[in-house]
Amino acid sequence: MNMLSFLGETPTAALKNAQAECGEEAIVISTKKISDAKDGSKDMYEVIVALEDEDKEIKHTKKITSPSVSNNSTKDKSFQAKVYDFKEEILKMQDAIMQVQKSLWNPKSQLYDLTIPLEFVDMYNLFEQNEFDQEMTYTIMKKTIKQLPIALKANPKKVNDFFKLVLRRIIPIKQEIPLRKHQRKIVMMVGPTGVGKTTTIAKLAARYAYKLGQNYKVGIVTLDSFRVGAIEQLQAYTNIMRLPLEVVKKPEDLVEALLRLKDCNYIFIDTAGSSQYDVDKIEMINEYQEKVHELPIEKVLVLPANVKHSDLVDIYTNYSRLNIDYLTFTKLDETRSFGNLISFAHKTKKSITYFSIGQNVPDDLIVSDSSFLIDCFMNNSCVRR
């Protein structure tokens, strides 16, 4: 956009000069008086117009004079339009204003009095979009503002990499370490109804039985005789994979079922799901554990990624009576927010074992990896590998 300045002894005269050179498409931006009549001279007005057609050539050489002005050598000069290209500068100013608006911290408490630097605005917005815990966001931002070298703050990639490093340090991850030949491991999957415990067990069973190249013997035990179709679902999986399945309906039968699977390297126990608020059903799982208390059983809490942070806290609080060892997150393909997973795992100090990213058995399973979760966080989407 071109900005042109025209002068005249009256506003009308200045406007006529502008229209004579620029045509009717000129847009009047401002009209102002720039000098008063004195010493025989007359008033002088300036009209600034804008032309949207940047490619149009303007040759503005017209003189604006008066009889009195011609007698004064200092004022007998040609007034030429000053051409300004403000487009780039205006866009920069608009962008800066938007960045400032985005950087305003909107705290829920007076404790959070932090102002986000422009260099961190995009990253701060990511934390907000991912429903990251606000207290942790504040802490991370404050430390980063203080610790990140000034030379790196101007480089968006360096800022991005620094935040990735911070997130990597706070995500607790349990590395997958396959068993040696004569080792044995019993894993009990617990969690609310519908979070995907059974499907996750089928994925894990297929992984250890066929995908690691170790020829592990895998067995499955189900304690879920309440849900309609639960046993049939597992039976279908075990028939396809040719794996043994034990159905246990009473706590005292669990010992015998595990004895029948004594040759298995991995035994996965599926439990009945229930509401996190149904404490009685959660306690029933403890009754099964008490019958085999002499055996080391790894308890993994299966949590859905598509619920808010407060729901995760409620689930963990009530299921923690089972002495939870690790976490597995499912339904990552059903959400766009991953900050709640990171902040929740960090606050509970429970390491993540696996991520389930769909219903396909055995493919939609990701071994715990902080880089995977951070990529999901940065992209607001489950990044399939």
Tell me the per-residue pLDDT of 340-361, one tens digit each, with 9 for 90 and over: 999 999 999 999 999 999 988 8
Share of the chain above pLDDT 70, in %: 83
DSSP letter for each residue of 170-217 = HS-BPPP-PPPTT--EEEEEE-STTSSHHHHHHHHHHIIIIISSS---
Q: Is the pLDDT of residue 106 over 60?
A: no
One domain, residues 283 and 370: yes
pLDDT at 212: 87
Looking at the predicted structure, is the pLDDT value of residue 362 above 70? yes
CB < 8 Å & 24+ apart, contacts of 310-315:
311/276, 312/340, 312/344, 313/344, 314/276, 314/277, 315/191, 315/192, 315/276
pLDDT reported for residue 229: 67
Top pLDDT among 171 and 74 is at 171
Shared domain check, 35 and 139: no
Per-residue pLDDT tens digits for 187-228: 999 999 989 999 999 999 999 999 888 889 999 999 976 665
Domain presence at residue 178: no
Q: Is residue 327 part of a domain?
A: yes
- pLDDT band, residue 58 (cuts 50/70/90): low
- The neighbouring-strand residues paired with 218 are 266
E-assigned strand segments in 331-372:
352-356, 365-367
Whether 192 and 333 share a structural domain? yes
Final residue of a structural domain among 30, 64, 85: 85
Same domain? For 70 and 117 the reply is: no
ω into 149 cis (within 30 of 0): no
Q: How far is CA 273 from CA 198, 210, 319, in A?
A: 10, 28, 11
Same domain, 164 and 190: no
CA distance 235 to 202: 10
Residue that terminates a domain, selected from 41, 69, 85: 85
The confidence score (pLDDT) of residue 383 equals 72
Same domain for 208 and 164: no
Residues 93 and 81 in one domain: no
Quote the pLDDT of residue 324.
Answer: 96
- Kindly state whether residue 338 falls inside one of the protein's structural domains: yes
Residue 119 predicted with pLDDT over 70: yes
User: Is the model's pLDDT at 64 over the cut of 50?
Assistant: no
Checking if the pLDDT of 369 tops 70, the result is yes
Of 85, 112, 131, which closes a domain?
85
Are both 63 and 33 inside the same structural domain?
Answer: yes
157/280 same-domain check = no
Note the pLDDT tens digit of each residue in 134-156: 889 888 888 888 888 877 877 88
Mean pLDDT of the chain: 82
Starting at the edge strand that comes first in sequence, how are the strands of the sheet with 326-330 ordered?
245-247, 218-222, 266-270, 185-190, 297-304, 326-330, 352-356, 365-367
**Average of per-residue pLDDT across 363-373:** 93
Taking residues 25-29, report their average pLDDT. 75
Shared domain for 211 and 346, answered yes or no, is yes
More confident residue, 89 or 70: 89
Range scoring the smallest mean pLDDT among 61-75, 97-111, 132-146, 216-230: 61-75
Counting residues of the chain whose pLDDT is more than 90, the rounded percentage is 39
pLDDT at 83 over 60: no
- Starting at the earlier edge strand, list the strands of the sheet with 27-35: 27-35, 44-51, 2-8, 84-85
- Domain with 49, as residue range(s), is 2-85
**pLDDT computed for residue 80 by the predictor:** 43
Confidence of residue 70 (pLDDT cuts 50, 70, 90): very low
The predicted structure's pLDDT at residue 366? 94
Number of structural domains in the chain: 3
Residue 275 lies in a domain: yes
Residue 384 lies in a domain: no
Q: Is 180 part of any domain?
A: no
Q: Say yes or no to pLDDT of 79 above 70.
A: no
pLDDT one-digit tens code per residue, 227-277: 656 788 888 989 999 999 999 989 999 999 999 999 999 999 999 888 888
Look at residue 385 and tell me if it is in a domain.
no
Same domain, 294 and 374: yes
Q: Which residue has the tokens 């995760």?
A: 312
Which of 3, 168, 180 shows the shortest CA–CA distance to 84? 3
Q: Are residues 53 and 109 in the same domain?
A: no
Written as six digits, the tokens of 334 are: 């059903």
Residue 344 lies in a domain: yes
Check residues 67 and 334 and name the one with the higher pLDDT: 334
Digit-coded pLDDT (tens) for 292-334 = 888 899 999 999 999 988 999 999 999 999 999 999 999 999 9
